[in-house]
Amino acid sequence: MSRALRQLAEIKVDVISGVTPAKLKSLNELGIDSVLDLLTFYPRRYVDRSNTVRLVEAQLGTEILVIGQVIKVSSIRRTKSAKTVVDAVVTDGSSKLYCTFFNQPWRQKQLEDETWIAIFGKLTSFKGKLTMVNPIVDLIGNQTGKIVALYPSSEKSNISNLMMSNFVAEVLNRSKEFLDPLNKDDLTKFGLISRTEAFNNIHFPETAKMSQAARKRLAFDELLRLQLPLMHKKRQILSSNKGYKCEISNLDRVLQFGADIPDLQGLVGEFVRALPFKLTKSQSEVIKEILSDMSKPYPMHRLVQGDVGSGKTVIAVCCMVAAIQNGYQSALMAPTEVLAEQHYLNIIDMTEGLTVEDGTKLFSKSDIKIGLLTGKLTKKSRDVLAEQIESGDIDMVIGTHALISDNLKFKNLAAVVIDEQHRFGVQQRSQLLSKSNFPDTLTMTATPIPRSAAMTVFGDLDQSVLTDMPKGRQIIETHWVKGKNDQSVWAKVLEQIEQNNRVYVVCPLIEESEKISVASVNKVVEELTDGPLKGIEVGVLHGQIPPLKRQGIFEDFVNGTFKVLISTTVIEVGVDVKDATVMVILDADRFGIAQLHQLRGRVGRSDKKSYCYLLTKSKELNEIAKTRLEALVKTNDGFELSEVDFALRGFGTLLGTRQKGRSDLKLAKLPADEKLLDLVKKYLDKLFKLDPDLNSTDIGAFLKNEVAAFYTDEDTDYLLKS
């Protein structure tokens, strides 16, 4: 009988022989609950016995793979360095090998007498004995087969590699065949093997080539399951006639004859004409894309990626103003109160006094009424505001996630902008959209992701990228300052204060609690004002300060009442102070790449030369932290940094920014598998042509079911419906 993966998801793993309650617990700890989980618990690596070398024949100085049995293990602790050294003697029948492990005390327990192991390392000789130092060791047990699959579990859990292998073998034997959405023609066309073959060969390959072909096929399936709901959703959006249609008079002419945004009649043109600067080329392009999306009968779903400081706010305002011009409401959601407050003040400033005289359709108001809604409002003022929003007295609402509270109703919300979308959970975003029927939505992010990843994760969204920066911006000079060598940093700070510029000092990231983080800010303030910044007035900002007071502090900083602001990461995103030219980040190794880049983006927001100092105290930074800091020093380009981040953190975490549920991508690697992604798209295009709603063909329904087996209801709900 052929099995669908969906069925295997419903069978608990304790049906497998040998899965005792204790083993079940260990399997659960590895995230294996169902038989499907077991089947997709893929080997981490393989040991290929055909590559093993007999010790007597091995060449000194080369890297070799040896399979053998432990005959003796001992350990000593070097008192001076307090380091443990474990020595193990192994034999492969032809000779003995002396392995030495430094600083791996657990090896003593792992390498019991008679354990079968595969050892990989560089063969050397010491006092006439064959030796290896810190080789890679895999416990392979008494396993047969030319190629032994190694599972990621075997070292930490009480499920040995052999046991895991036997469990999987039973699943494969009992399932026999797996139903395959791809028919013979598809397989040939795409150069893929069948699903049944693939599952067998990923766990029990006879050659390395077979395991590679298996990986390719199963990675295709993973990408297929991810793309299917996204492409489905996109097609649904395009074919729906729901949503608000925002008309922009003479937009067609502007689009066709190469005129520009300021030439537009109505509020948008008016708004852009009043700006103190000229739009950059990509700002204009993106605004045109947005306006033409908004004039379509179906809702816009667009993602704007633009580096820190590339000028996304004016784009957001154009979008909102376009809705208002048509007599509708618009909303902007920002991830922090500081940012929402700042947007509010800025946008009031930018839109003040805008009037339209040409009598553009529905729009007859002389002023745009803007409201600020955050969690810190008193109940009374919130109620008043909520009423104005419901009655339509307020045209534009700016806020934090307080915007998505259940009892807030809009009169006619037609455009929703989500700023710094990566900072919001999936649910928060879709909740805001549910405030209205199919509003046009614009999501904006300064944490760009590589193209292939964007295609995968945001396959349902249209994308715009801001490729240029406002004129006159200079590279932010970035230095990594280690240990106590920070005199030059404070000298620069003093110099810049002298020139009437502003300085941020960001305190170490503390995750435990808000209280501790306030204490640490206060400590930094004390140290600095007693030390290098003696006699300098500083401001202090953290999340515990009430919003009104916070606004005051911020204004004082902008006005220059004090010129140094010491704060937590509350200033991380979006904050825009033109005169800020120095960013000092303490304990910079504690921050991620995206966060550091965002923080750095708080300076260099005008044509003034700016500086960023990444300070680290620890003597022994881990390699990943070093790579991050070096990348920041090397480049100012957010897209380049995102590639580095992507390489360091892998795809899983990225997917997490889009989806709450588990990630099904275990084998597919991007951008390496970009070609495979193209095949998936080809396959799905064909499928959707035959079966647009995925319920008129067997394959369509089958695949829809399969997606449900891999993603939680919440995921698919979101992917398919929102």
Residues in Cβ contact with 206 at an 8 Å cutoff, skipping those fewer than 6 apart:
146, 147
Q: Please, which residue, 276 or 535, has the CB nearer to ligand ADP?
A: 276
CB 444 within 8 A of CB 417: yes
Q: Which of 285, 477, 576, 693 binds ligand ADP (CB under 6 A)?
A: 576
3-state secondary structure of 541: strand
Contact between 439 and Mg ion by CB under 5 A: the answer reads no
- Taking the complex as a whole, how short is the minimal distance between the CB of residue 424 and ligand ADP, in angstroms? 16
Provide the Cα torsion 645, 646, 651, 656; round to 10°: 40
For residues 665 and 227, what is the distance between their CA atoms, to the nearest angstrom? 12
For residues 464 and 282, what is the distance between their CA atoms, to the nearest angstrom? 9
| Site stretch for ligand ADP (CB under 6 A), options 157-165, 226-234, 275-283, 585-593 | 275-283
For residue 34, give the DSSP letter: B
For residues 537 and 381, what is the distance between their CA atoms, to the nearest angstrom? 35
Contact between 309 and ligand ADP by CB under 6 A: the answer reads yes
Provide the Cα torsion 597, 601, 607, 609; round to 10°: -60
Does the bond joining 448 to the residue before it have cis omega, within 30 degrees of 0? no
x-or-dash pattern for Mg ion, window 308-347, by CB under 5 A? Answer: ----x-----------------------------------
Q: Please, which residue, 220 or 611, has the CB nearer to ligand ADP?
A: 611
- Taking the complex as a whole, how short is the minimal distance between the CB of residue 276 and ligand ADP, in angstroms? 8
Q: Which of 141, 392, 470, 661 binds ligand ADP (CB under 6 A)?
A: 470
For residues 639 and 656, what is the distance between their CA atoms, to the nearest angstrom? 19
Q: Please, which residue, 421 or 716, has the CB nearer to ligand ADP?
A: 421
Please report which helix (H) or strand (E) contains residue 340, including its range: helix 337-351
x-or-dash pattern for ligand ADP, window 590-629, by CB under 6 A? Answer: ---------------x------------------------
| Site stretch for ligand ADP (CB under 6 A), options 66-74, 309-317, 383-391, 666-674 | 309-317
Minimal CA–CA distance to 703: which of 691, 718, 721?
A: 691
CB 640 within 8 A of CB 308: no
Residue whose beta carbon is closest to ligand ADP: 311
- Residue 143's binding partner, choosing from Mg ion, ligand ADP, none, with beta-carbon cut-off 5 to 8 A by kind? none
The residue type at 320: M
Q: Please, which residue, 214 or 332, has the CB nearer to ligand ADP?
A: 332
Residues in Cβ contact with 659 at an 8 Å cutoff, skipping those fewer than 6 apart:
426, 711, 715, 718, 719
Contact between 299 and Mg ion by CB under 5 A: the answer reads no
For residues 639 and 449, what is the distance between their CA atoms, to the nearest angstrom? 7
Contact between 311 and ligand ADP by CB under 6 A: the answer reads yes
Q: Which of residues 428-457 bind ligand ADP (CB under 6 A)?
A: 446
| Site stretch for ligand ADP (CB under 6 A), options 169-177, 254-262, 310-318, 410-418 | 310-318
Contact between 308 and ligand ADP by CB under 6 A: the answer reads yes
CB 195 within 8 A of CB 699: no
- Taking the complex as a whole, how short is the minimal distance between the CB of residue 277 and ligand ADP, in angstroms? 4
Q: Which of 574, 604, 638, 700 binds Mg ion (CB under 5 A)?
A: 574
Which pair of tokens denotes residue 128? 């006439």
Q: Is 65 left (phi over 0), alpha (psi -120 to 50) or beta?
A: beta
Q: How many CB atoms lie within 10 A of CB 312?
A: 24
- Taking the complex as a whole, how short is the minimal distance between the CB of residue 312 and Mg ion, in angstroms? 5
| Site stretch for ligand ADP (CB under 6 A), options 70-78, 225-233, 305-313, 505-513 | 305-313
x-or-dash pattern for ligand ADP, window 282-301, by CB under 6 A? Answer: -x------------------
Contact between 306 and ligand ADP by CB under 6 A: the answer reads yes
Q: Which of 5, 119, 300, 314 binds ligand ADP (CB under 6 A)?
A: 314
For residues 19 and 15, what is the distance between their CA atoms, to the nearest angstrom? 7
Binding site for ligand ADP (CB under 6 A): 277-280, 283, 306, 308-314, 446, 470, 574, 576, 578, 605
